[in-house]
Amino acid sequence: MEFLIITLRNIPAIHRSLLLAVVILTALGNVHGRHKVHKWETVEYSAISCRAHTASLTDFGGVGDGTTLNTNAFKSAVDHLSQFQSDGGSMLYVPAGKWLTGSFNLTSHFTLYLDKDAVLLASQDENDYPVIAPLPSYGRGRDTDGGRFISLIFGTNLTDVVITGENGTIDGQGQLWWDKFHKKELQYTRPYLIEIMYSDNIQISSLTLVNSPSWNVHPVYCSNIIIQGITILAPVRSPNTDGINPDSCINTRIEDCYIVSGDDCIAVKSGWDEYGVAFGMPTKQLAIRRITCISPTSATIALGSEMSGGIQDVRAEDIVAIDTESGVRIKTAVGRGGYVKDVYVKGVTMKTMKYVFWMTGDYGSHPDNNYDPNALPVIDNINYRDMVAENVTIAAKLAGISGDPFTGICISNVTIELAPKAKKLAWNCTDISGISSGVVPQPCELLPDQGTENVSPCNFPTENLPIDDMKVQTCSCRKKLY
Active site residues: 263
Helix (H, G, I), strand (E, B) or coil at 141: coil
Q: Which pairing describes strands 39-47 and 406-418: parallel, antiparallel, or unpaired?
A: unpaired
Residue 226: which residues within 8 A CB-CB, separation 6 or more?
Answer: 48, 202, 203, 204, 205, 252, 253, 467, 470, 472
How far is Cα of residue 95 from the mean position of the Cα atoms in its chain?
A: 22
Among 186, 298, 188, 292, which residue's Cα sits nearest to residue 241?
298
Q: How far apart are the first and last CA of the chain?
A: 31
Residue 331: which residues within 8 A CB-CB, separation 6 or more?
Answer: 302, 303, 304, 305, 307, 359, 360, 363
User: What's the chain's length in residues?
Assistant: 482
Alpha-carbon Rg for the chain in angstroms: 27
Residue 31: which residues within 8 A CB-CB, separation 6 or more?
Answer: none
d(CA 75, CA 461) in angstroms, rounded, equals 44
d(CA 150, CA 127) in angstroms, rounded, equals 11
